[in-house]
């Protein structure tokens, strides 16, 4: 807040003083060049401070902006040397003009680095050319062409004089494009940079008009446009937040996406107005307007290409998300070690079974599994569980669901069995097969299993009753079997 008030006071004070002092006087000249150099250096210092508190691309952007402001201060210092110390008019052009014009590429490069984009660069460039071409059309039609035709300067001086407003057109165009692409925390900075570019354009357009008619004197009130531009640039750097990871992500405001076409609409309306009033468009304006319209067409083609690529990328992302969703679903309902169904999927499948079909559950508890872990480690135990899971899948029906309920406990859900005898027959076969040796990590291991059978009965309201019945059956079987320790043989 204080910085804004100080900046506003500097601008208002500069303009007021130049209105009070005699035009062209040495006092007006000294005041104007002093304030101009001061404001440019303040902007450079503020951009330098922003560079120090940022990192990466933003740091380089603010550093380049600061360099551009120093270049402008150098140009004004050269101008001041001629008009103050030699008490005369500065030759035009002179070496100081290159310092002035150094600010433009520095400002453009800095804005692209601070507020720029990583994707869609071609579309951004076309937007910039559309805006720059439209603003050039308006400037040339109403200010620059009459000035250029009526001026009495040399060709070199005219070219240098026109370079100022034309470069500001480019500066304003870039700022306008980047405004709607700035991250939320940087939009105030982008708006201030745009305002600074417009203020500098006012100063340069006024300078071009007066200079072409040889009526410009240092200390003219039009100089306040430059002061305002540098004050706004300093405020932009002062308000710029420190860059954080993710600040480079593009985020655009939908309503601002139409901004590139606003200058074009004004240019077209200006052309219609000129033709309606009986004037003819010069060859330059006709070619310029036609070129801008072709750029708009090219921009739309690029946008169509980008949208097609975006749609393709979107379909790819959706496919990847679906694949990831399937993976997560599988992880949520399957045992990560054996790949068998887990308890959640087992219960869900049992609850979904038709009420009119016979439903049987086999509950398996491995005998002698703990000693395998104790003798050979958990890796051997895990490998044994995987082999048991493969065996159970291989010896059950396609419609049966094999699950690992936890630890060394397994279950088989058998929908549509003919009766208890079918389930007991499978339990017997599994018991016999699990007594056969397993080859585990260079060892031959013999274990066993206790298998209980449970059938759904009328009145069962949940799967818990069915599992409890199978569990009780399994413990009944286990109680009739003598304790067994695994037999381990070297392969």
Contact between 261 and 255 under an 8 Å Cβ cutoff? The reply is no
323 occurs within a structural domain: no
Higher-pLDDT residue of 233, 174: 233
Same domain for 299 and 440, yes or no, is no
Q: What is the pLDDT of residues 343-371, one digit of tens each?
A: 999 999 988 888 778 899 999 999 988 88
46 occurs within a structural domain: yes
Same domain for 196 and 131, yes or no, is yes
Burial 256-268 (b: 16+ CB within 10 A, else e): eeebbbebbeebb
Any idea what the CATH number is for the domain that residue 365 is in?
3.30.70.270
Domain range holding 482? 343-490
Higher-pLDDT residue of 304, 403: 403
Please report which confidence band the pLDDT of residue 150 belongs to, taking 50, 70 and 90 as the band edges: low
Q: Does pLDDT of 45 surpass 90?
A: yes
> Which of 33-47, 103-117, 280-294 has maximum average pLDDT?
33-47
Structure tokens belonging to residue 93: 């052009």
The whole-number pLDDT of residue 246 equals 47
The whole-number pLDDT of residue 158 equals 66
138 occurs within a structural domain: yes
Kindly report whether the global pTM for this prediction surpasses the value 0.75: no
The whole-number pLDDT of residue 137 equals 85
Same domain for 61 and 205, yes or no, is yes
For residues 239-261, average pLDDT: 57
Q: What integer best gives the mean pLDDT of the chain?
A: 81
Q: Does pLDDT of 223 surpass 80?
A: yes
Higher-pLDDT residue of 435, 81: 435
Give the DSSP H or E segment for 307.
helix 283-333
CA distance 358 to 454: 11
Same domain for 154 and 107, yes or no, is yes
Please report which confidence band the pLDDT of residue 408 belongs to, taking 50, 70 and 90 as the band edges: very high
Same domain for 28 and 153, yes or no, is yes
Nearest alpha-carbon partner for 223 in 333, 100, 62, 332: 100
Same domain for 298 and 356, yes or no, is no
Q: DSSP assignment of 46-65, as one string? A: HHHHHHHT--HHHHHHHHHH
For residues 443-462, average pLDDT: 85
Find where tokens 């890796």 sit.
Answer: 379
334 occurs within a structural domain: no
- Other C-beta atoms closer than 10 Å to the C-beta of 52 total 12
Q: Does pLDDT of 161 surpass 70?
A: no
For residues 437-444, average pLDDT: 88
Percent of the chain at pLDDT > 90 equals 21
Nearest alpha-carbon partner for 66 in 37, 106, 31: 106
Chain-centroid distance of CA 122 in Å reads 17
Same domain for 358 and 312, yes or no, is no
Contact between 412 and 449 under an 8 Å Cβ cutoff? The reply is no
Chain-centroid distance of CA 263 in Å reads 28
Same domain for 248 and 370, yes or no, is no
> What stretches of 21-55 show up as alpha helix (H) in DSSP?
26-52
CA distances from 412 to 396, 398, 458 (A): 8, 12, 20
Residue 179: CB partners within 8 Å, gap ≥ 6?
115, 187, 190, 191, 194, 256, 259
Structure tokens belonging to residue 176: 């306008």
232 occurs within a structural domain: yes
Please report which confidence band the pLDDT of residue 152 belongs to, taking 50, 70 and 90 as the band edges: low
Contact between 397 and 423 under an 8 Å Cβ cutoff? The reply is no
Chain-centroid distance of CA 251 in Å reads 7
330 occurs within a structural domain: no
Of 67-81, 179-193, 285-299, minimum mean pLDDT range: 179-193
Q: What is the pLDDT of residues 292-349, one digit of tens each?
A: 899 889 888 888 888 888 888 888 999 899 999 988 888 889 999 999 999 999 999 9
The whole-number pLDDT of residue 275 equals 87
The whole-number pLDDT of residue 105 equals 76
Rg from Cα positions in the chain: 41
324 occurs within a structural domain: no
Same domain for 13 and 52, yes or no, is yes
User: How many domains does the chain divide into?
Assistant: 2
> What stretches of 53-154 show up as alpha helix (H) in DSSP?
56-80, 95-115, 121-139, 145-150
Q: Among 279, 300, 316, which residue terminates a domain?
A: 316
In the sheet with 443-446, reading across from the earlier edge strand, the strands are 438-440, 443-446, 487-490
The whole-number pLDDT of residue 140 equals 77
Same domain for 290 and 436, yes or no, is no
337 occurs within a structural domain: no
Q: Does pLDDT of 183 surpass 80?
A: no
Higher-pLDDT residue of 354, 448: 448
Please report which confidence band the pLDDT of residue 245 belongs to, taking 50, 70 and 90 as the band edges: very low
CA distance 67 to 48: 9
Q: Does pLDDT of 441 surpass 70?
A: yes
Q: Among 316, 333, 354, which residue terminates a domain?
A: 316
Same domain for 124 and 256, yes or no, is yes
CA distance 136 to 323: 52
Contact between 201 and 10 under an 8 Å Cβ cutoff? The reply is no
For residue 93, say if its preceding peptide bond is cis, omega within 30 degrees of 0. yes
Determine the angle formed by the axes of helices 2-20 and 26-52, rounding to 10 degrees.
160
Contact between 107 and 140 under an 8 Å Cβ cutoff? The reply is no
The whole-number pLDDT of residue 141 equals 80
Of 8-12, 122-126, 442-446, minimum mean pLDDT range: 122-126
> What stretches of 334-403 show up as alpha helix (H) in DSSP?
343-352, 369-376, 378-394
Contact between 449 and 384 under an 8 Å Cβ cutoff? The reply is no
Same domain for 350 and 298, yes or no, is no
């Amino acid at each position: 807040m204080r910085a804004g008030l100080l900046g506003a006071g500097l601008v208002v004070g500069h303009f007021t003083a130049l209105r009070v002092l005699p035009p062209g006087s040495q006092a007006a000249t000294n005041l104007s060049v002093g304030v101009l150099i001061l404001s440019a250096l303040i902007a450079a210092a503020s951009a330098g401070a922003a560079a120090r508190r940022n990192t990466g691309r933003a740091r380089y952007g603010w550093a380049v902006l600061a360099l551009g402001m120093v270049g402008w201060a150098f140009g004004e210092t050269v101008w001041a040397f001629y008009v103050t110390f030699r008490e005369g008019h500065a030759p035009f052009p002179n070496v100081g003009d290159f310092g002035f014009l150094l600010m433009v590429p520095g400002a453009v490069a800095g804005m692209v680095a601070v507020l720029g984009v990583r994707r869609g660069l071609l579309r951004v460039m076309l937007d910039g050319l559309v805006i720059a071409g439209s603003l050039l059309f308006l400037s040339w039609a109403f200010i620059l062409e009459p000035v250029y035709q009526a001026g009495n300067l040399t060709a070199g001086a005219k070219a240098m004089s026109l370079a100022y407003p034309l470069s500001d057109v480019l500066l304003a165009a870039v700022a306008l494009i980047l405004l709607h692409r700035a991250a939320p925390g940087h939009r105030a900075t982008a708006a201030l940079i745009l305002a600074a570019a417009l203020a500098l354009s006012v100063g340069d357009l006024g300078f071009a008009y007066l200079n072409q008619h040889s009526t410009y004197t240092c200390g003219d009130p039009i100089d306040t446009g430059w002061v305002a531009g540098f004050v706004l640039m300093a405020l932009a750097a002062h308000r710029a937040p420190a860059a954080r990871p993710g600040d480079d992500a593009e985020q655009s405001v939908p309503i601002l996406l139409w901004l590139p076409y606003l200058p074009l609409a004004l240019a077209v309306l200006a052309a219609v107005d000129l033709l309606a009033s009986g004037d003819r468009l010069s060859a330059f304006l006709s070619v310029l307007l036609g070129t801008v319209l072709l750029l708009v067409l090219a921009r739309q083609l690029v946008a169509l290409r980008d949208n097609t690529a975006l749609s393709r990328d979107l379909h790819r992302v959706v496919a990847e998300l679906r694949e990831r969703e399937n993976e997560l679903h599988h992880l949520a309902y399957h045992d990560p070690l054996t790949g068998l169904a887990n308890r959640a999927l087992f219960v869900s499948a049992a609850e979904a079974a038709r009420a009119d079909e016979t439903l049987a559950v086999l509950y398996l508890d491995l005998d002698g599994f703990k000693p395998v872990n104790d003798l050979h480690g958990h890796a051997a135990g895990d490998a044994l569980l995987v082999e048991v899971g493969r065996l159970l899948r291989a010896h059950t029906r396609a419609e049966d669901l094999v699950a690992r309920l936890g630890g060394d406990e397994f279950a088989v859900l058998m929908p549509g069995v003919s009766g208890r005898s079918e389930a007991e027959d499978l339990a017997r076969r599994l018991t016999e097969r699990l007594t056969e040796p397993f080859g585990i990590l260079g060892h031959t291991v013999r274990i066993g299993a206790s298998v209980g059978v449970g059938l759904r009965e009328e009145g069962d309201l949940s799967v818990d009753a069915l599992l409890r019945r199978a569990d009780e059956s399994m413990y009944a079987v286990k109680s009739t079997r003598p304790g067994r320790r695994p037999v381990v043989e070297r392969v």
